[in-house]
Amino acid sequence: MSEEPDLSPVILSAAGAALVIDGSGSDLPRVRHFGADLGPAAGPDLLPALAAPTPVAPLLPAQGDSWYGRPGLSGERAGEHWPVRWTLDRFDAEATPGRGGTVTIAASDERAGLELVSELTMDAGGLVTMRHTVRNTAASPYRLQGLTCALPLPARAGELLDFTGRWALEKVPQRRAFGHGAWSRENRRGRTGHDGTGLLVAGTNGFGFRSGEVWAVHTGWSGNHVHYAERLHDGPCLLAGGELLEPGEIVLGEGESYSTPLVYFTWSGGGLDEASARLHDHLRAARPLPVRPVTLNNWEATYFDHGLDRLLELAERAATAGVERFVLDDGWFRHRRHDRAGLGDWYVDEGVWPDGLRPLADRVRKLGMQFGLWFEPEMVNPDSDLAREHPDWILGRAERTPPLQRNQLVLDLARPQAYDYLLERIDTIVTEYELDYIKWDHNRDIAEPVHDGVAGVHAQTSAAYRLLDELRRRHPALEIESCSSGGARVDLGVLARTDRVWTSDSNDALDRQAIQRWTGLLVPPDRLGCHVGAPRDHCTGRRLPLAFRAATALFGHMGVEWDLTSASASELEELATWIALHKRLRPVLHAGRVVRADHADPSSLVHGVVLPEHAVFAFVRLDSRVETGPDTLRLPGLDPDALYEVSVAGPLPERAAALPRWVEEPVRLHGAVLGELGLPAPVLRPTSALVIEVRRVTS
């Protein structure tokens, strides 16, 4: 008597999340559930219980699977359309209940001449990553048009949240009902974009930071990409992401393959914060970082004025305030007296720096600071030695010059000669000056990208990754910041290779409160560049008090973007106080779980970072209140059964009034009280912030 086949599904579970994969058929497996952990319910009886009245789409949905929405794979061969019907060849799973696992699926369609390998992993924090690889097994070329990763959504996901934005105002949220059809966000800027979604979120109606069930997708890729959510009137819902390919960009010869970027899926049963925490935990585990030094960047202090005496005075002031890293921005290389010339000529300008950068670098290090330097490797000015000598290195068609943006063209990094030049130049300068840090900029969108006659964003992005990887291999201690005219290249593809992102070119603390809040859904605070700007912001022109600027920068990778030679003695003293506070609280701020209260009053924000024994919160007054009654601060994320001591950390905001007892002297309350009833709030003027420290009482 033959043995009955095992019809039990594969269940990956960790940190309260579960992924249920049905591999019982002869075609591609289907994901029956992505959401809450199902506990001990696994077994042969689970699949019948999850059976739906309409077919459940497989991992790579197609019309042959009764999915009439956007297909997961699209392409053509010699002008012929071949609908793919996969036959399952291999289904391997390694799963540990409560600790996640990996599923590898291999399938093929001999008539279509294609093979597929799909990999799904759930890490110990419950985050799911997915990647598809398609291989051409036929003699004729296969022109790949699209390959995306998708997971199903339940019908109760009734709202969508994604983000738009612009230069100096990134990550502006927008919400809408999730009706029938597809909501697609397509990015063709050649970089992630100021308006890049970061995350596309689906959730139950009314979900917030601390409530509701949410699912989110992120494509870990710094080039063109797509995120979409789709609901059919007669079928399941999907949440998907992948690289956005232009016609002819990927053509697979016989035996050649293409792999999608890693696509990340996160779920939460308790609002956006839990979904965000899975992403933060994953990135921190994948790339642990040393202590994040407080960083001063000279750009807004001096711009292109690189007089040595002025820079040395700035370094002296920075060291006095407690800064730990000094970064020299744009303007140090040949012909670079403004932004219209010199980009690409990566040699120290002998006219400005007759003794090289050594006098500045040596003095910075004697002051106890690290030394860093700005580069923009992927761009070139037409007015540069590089562009005049190598016009064939420009990304675009040789017959016509691509459109200028910011007086820049794009250097074709996929061209070996251009790649080798950049690697040699950057490597030489890093070695000569023993650089601790690079600020790596990318200041324009990529228009009309053509490499060897075909669309070039895929090749350009891949080459940029190789360049970053090779520099890190040669200089393992080198830290790299991803900047892209502010926050236009913020994604997990670049963060797999860099140590932080420049969140926005705007240091306006009022705008930064929202920019950091929403960018922080994807990126943890230790990787968010957050600087104390000048009293008058150079982007918005708004004047804000130092205490508000510093309290805003406190909750990230703190730095300074201000001409400290113009600061008064009292301002320097106050700045030093805030930097000292950041250093003291850094072990919490850069390791804890980010929490954001669903505060009822839109004129205020409450957010924090929580570890089991220690937490830091901010109560932020953005604008004038309409209500005249008392405001209440609920502090989320604390252990409800633990006793905590609550006190004010740092200076009190100017003209704070109606101070409750806990502001003037510490009080002790249980986490349940702090989270549910909260604390009476002091009266703060607009653009003020109060920093609150919470310590667990152990005896």
Q: Which residues are catalytic?
A: 441, 505
Query: Shortest CA distance to 25 belongs to which of 71, 62, 56?
Result: 56
Instruction: Give the Cα separation of 185 and 328 in Å (integer).
Output: 36
CB neighbour burial string for 56-80, b if at least 16 within 10 angstroms, e if fewer: bbbbbbbeebebebbbbbbbebeee
Cβ neighbour number for residue 48 with a 10 Å cutoff: 8
Selection from 538, 531, 574, 575 nearest residue 553 by Cα: 531
Residues in the chain: 699
Dihedrals φ, ψ of 128, to 5°?
-105, 130
The DSSP annotation for 245-293 comes to PPTTSEEE-TT-EEEPPPEEEEEESS-HHHHHHHHHHHHHHHS------
Distant-in-sequence, close-in-space partners of 672: CB < 8 Å, separation ≥ 6: 640, 641
**Tokens for 428?**
């030489």
Residue 112 CB partners (closer than 8 Å, separation 6+) = 77, 82, 83, 84, 85, 138
Q: Which residues pair with 143 in a beta bridge?
A: 76, 251
Tell whether the torsion through CA atoms of 475, 479, 481 and 482 is positive or negative: positive
Rounded distance between C-alpha atoms, residue 200 and residue 229, angstroms: 8
Which of helix, strand or coil describes residue 241?
A: strand
Return d(Cα 254, Cα 82) in angstroms, integer: 16
CA–CA separation, 578 and 314 (whole Å): 18
**How far is Cα 484 from Cα 46, in angstroms, rounded to an integer?**
48
Phi-psi region of 418 (alpha: psi -120 to 50; beta: other; left: phi over 0): alpha
Helix (H, G, I), strand (E, B) or coil at 422: helix
Q: Is the dihedral of CA 204, 208, 213, 218 positive or negative?
A: positive
Query: CA 153 → CA 71, 143, 185, 231, 302, distances in Å?
Result: 16, 30, 18, 9, 51
Write out the DSSP string of 159-188. EEEEEEEETTEEEEEEEEE--SEEEEEEE-
- Based on its alpha-carbon atoms, the radius of gyration of the chain, rounded to whole angstroms, reads 27
CA atoms within 13 A on the CB side of 561: 24
Q: Are 583 and 645 in contact (CB under 8 A)?
A: no
Q: Do 18 and 95 meet the contact criterion of CB atoms below 8 Å apart?
A: no
Report which residue type is found at 599: H
Q: Kindly state the tokens that stand for 4.
A: 């009955």
Taking each helix axis from N to C terminus, what angle separates 457-474 and 416-432, rounded to the nearest 10 degrees?
A: 30
Can you state the angle between helices 546-554 and 569-589, rounded to 10 degrees? 20
Phi then psi for residue 327, to 5 deg, are -115, 125
